[in-house]
Structures are given as structure tokens and as C-alpha cells.
Amino acid sequence: MKKFAVLGDPIGHSLSPIIHNLFSKQTGIELTYEALKVSSLAFEKKVYELFEEGYDGLNITLPHKNLAFKQADTLSSESKEIQAVNTLWVDNKKINGHTTDGEGFISDLRLKSLQVRGQHILIIGAGSAARSIIPFLLNLLPSEVTIINRTQEKAELLARYFQNSTNISGRGFDSKSRYNYDAIINTSSHEALGTSLHISDNIFEKAQWVYDLMYSEKGTHFIQQAKAKGIKNSFDGIGMLVAQASLSFKIWTGVKPEVESVIDKMLK
């Protein structure tokens, strides 16, 4: 019996235990998977305790991915670039860290046949979630990427970090914009934190698709706003969640579950 858990704060909304139990049924690998609320102050100690208790792997969610990055003894190249970790496991008595978020996100875009190449992409938010997907997104060769954030300086800083890759810029929510985005990706954590995301309806004017990394049974506020503006191709992060979870599962067990049937079950 393998033992896994996801650590975050808040954590009550997490669907990861359901997803991994579906992976268990699909693959025949017996496991337990818990959702544990852990504060930032208690995070490092809790990780050590869980591995000492024999846990085989841990997923990390808001707001601890940077703490996990700092705690890991060995890091993947993707984690080093993004400076965040969402998957931990122990090998040769060392804590290993990797991020599956970016690859999971791109996997879901491809599954949904969403076009990135040659497109002007708007990213809302400049935190760790945005940072985790940007390098993978840039590999698909968009024509331009704009990052907007409540704090303009943070958006500009993140854009400069990736400025050697493509035409990428950062600005504040109140900055004047051309509103000619082909696609919009919301990476902000407002939904999970229960706060409001105040963005103009005008950003949806020319968008062909939108994607929210967060998820909600009734649809996130961002997705509701997009659909109200007539954007039919509006998706929340369920597909990404399942895809990135399957990659963590493969790291821990050596077996990669099939994701489409699991996504369908989660949507139903």
C-alpha cells in the first residue's frame, strides 16, 4: 500500500484525492491519498515528518510551492527555471523536487486543440502559477505574451525573467490596452482565496479561448465572466489538474495513468 498526500492552505477544495483514487482503480496500484492543511510555518517540519512516516510522495499546492523548492535536496531543471516544486519524493535519503504543472497545462491545451502558435496570449497574474506555465507556453511559439497583475512591477519583473524567449511584456491591471488578445489564461489565486479579480470585460473582445488554472464545480468567476461575453471555448483547470497529477503518479510509481477518462469522470 503506497501512501501519498497533498499539502496546502487552504486545502478543502482539493480534488487530488479523488483523482489519485481513480488512478488507483485504473492501474491496480493500491494507495492512500490525503489532503492535509499545513501552514507555511509548519510546512518544512511536516514534510520531514511525512517522509519519516513512510509516505511515498507528496504533492504541493498553494501557497507552498516555493517552500518546497527551497526544501528539496535535488531539483529538476524545470523546477530550477521556475523556482517552484509541486511534487516531492525521497530517493537515496534525499528529497527530490520536480514541477509537473507546466507539462500538465500544455498536455491539456493539446487535448482541447487550443491554438498557441502565432497567437497573442494574455496571462492574468504574475505569481508562481504563471511562472510555472510560461516557459512551456513559450515553447509553443506564441507571437506575443502580455502579463497583467495588480502590482505592475511584479508583472514587469516576471516578463524580464523570460524576455530572451519571445515578445513578452508586463503591465498593471489599470494600464491602457489594445484588447486584441487571441487567448487569455488566468493564473491568479483569487478564486481559491475567496477574493475578487477585478478585470475589464473588454479584455474578452477578440479572444478565441480562455483558460483558468483554478477550478470550481459551478465554474470560476473568471469563466463565468468569459461565457457571459460569449466565449464558448472557456475551460477551467480540471484537465490540467488531472494531467499534472498523472505525471506525479508516474514519478512515484513508474506507471502513467490515462487521463481522458478521468477528466470525463471529474467533469460529470
Question: Which one of 3, 37, 46, 65 is the catalytic residue?
Answer: 65
Q: Cα separations (Å) of 255 from 80, 248, 264?
A: 25, 10, 20
What is the SS3 assignment for 108?
Answer: helix
- Tell me how far CA of residue 112 lies from CA of 173, 239, 256, 263, in angstroms: 28, 9, 20, 12
List residues bridging with 37 in a β-sheet.
8
**What is the distance between the alpha carbons of residues 110 and 156, in angstroms, rounded to a whole number?**
28
**Residue type at position 193:** L
Find how far residue 11's CA is from the centre of its chain: 15
Q: Where do we find the cell 467533469?
A: 267
Secondary-structure percent of the chain, ordered helix, strand, coil, rounded to 5? 40, 20, 40
Cβ atoms of residues 78 and 99 within 8 Å: yes
Residue with the three cell numbers 463565468: 224
| Cell matching residue 102 | 507546466
Closest to 205 measured CA to CA, from 232, 182, 176: 182
Q: Does residue 65 have an active-site annotation?
A: yes
| DSSP H stretches of helix in 9-91 | 16-27, 40-52, 65-71, 77-82
Question: Which sequence positions are flagged as catalytic?
Answer: 65
